[in-house]
Amino acid sequence: MNESLNVVVTGGNRGVGRAVAGEAARRGHRVTIVARRPDAGAAAAREIGARFVAGDLSSARTARAAARDIAAAVPRIDVLVHNAALWPSRRVLNEDGFEQSFFTNHLAPFLLNHLLEDRLGRVVQVSAGLYVIGRVDPERTPAGDDFSPTRTYANTKLANLMMVPLFAERWRDAGVTIDAVHPGVLRTGLGERGGFQGFLLRTVKRTLKSAEAGAAPVVDLLTAEGTGRYFNGLKQRPLKPAARNTALATRLWTDATKVLHLA
């Protein structure tokens, strides 16, 4: 059996995050679930024998508070799994003025990586295959001026994925590693909607694999060696051109550093 690790999973109270947390615990790791809702998060933690930390990743203020609470609860984080994500149906701005999914899907993981990096061993970023249709406009995407019920999710996941090679390089000398993984198209609550569109989505989801089926590709990476890679399921894949724009990635990194006051 592999060494038991301290594993922190954001958004670990339901869907893929809940499945990842449960599978990690089953494999003998010490799991901490981070979730916005204390009731749901604590209940999920009890069910799988994990620790729970309340953490809201919707704004810079609340994400910083979450980082402090995570650090207090888990002084040494062997693996941080960024799973929390939003697929919005309408444009909503958070208290910082950012489109909500841009903050939660991109800026929140970026901020946690910086605030917790002195206690990290490894990061696993749960990604999405839809990044290939993403088009990030650094002037418009942050505030959702280019909002689309479909494209915005892809845009924000693309922005997040583009940070992986940059973090891999930043942490290379420190020995901290980072990989991203698309666990598959799964039957989860992500992107839930009302009305006819929601009905169609729920109908399609009945044909998809369960969230539990997507846990293994993520949990396998907890103990993997390597950094800066992208996996589609269990297989490593090269990044598509959309994620290989070095100039845009550098711009997004610089912008995030400034707006989050990390410089």
Domain of residue 15 covers 6-259
| Domain total in the chain | 1
Catalytic one among 87, 103, 147, 153? 153
The whole-angstrom separation of Cα 200 and Cα 196 is: 6
The reported pLDDT for the residue numbered 192 is 52
Give pLDDT tens digits for 126-164.
999 999 999 999 999 999 999 999 899 999 999 999 999
The reported pLDDT for the residue numbered 214 is 73
Give pLDDT tens digits for 11-56.
999 999 999 999 999 999 999 999 999 999 999 999 999 999 999 9
Q: Which long-range contacts (CB under 8 A, 24 or more apart) does 94-100 make?
A: 94/58, 94/59, 95/58, 95/59, 95/61, 96/59, 96/60, 96/61, 96/259, 97/143, 98/142, 98/143, 98/144, 98/259, 99/141, 99/142, 99/143, 99/144, 99/147, 99/152, 99/156, 100/58
Give pLDDT tens digits for 161-211.
999 999 999 999 999 999 999 997 544 455 454 444 443 343 333 334 565
In a domain, 234, yes or no: yes
72: tokens are 């207090």
The reported pLDDT for the residue numbered 217 is 94
Short-list 115, 139, 113, 86, CA closest to 248: 139
Short-list 165, 135, 138, 99, CA closest to 258: 138
**Residue 153 is a catalytic residue:** yes
pTM, full prediction: 0.90
The whole-angstrom separation of Cα 113 and Cα 67 is: 9
Contact (Cβ atoms closer than 8 angstroms) between residue 13 and residue 206: no
In a domain, 1, yes or no: no
228: tokens are 């800066």
CATH number of domain containing 42: 3.40.50.720
Orientation angle between helical segments 38-48 and 15-26, nearest 10 degrees: 30
Q: What is the DSSP letter of 234?
A: T
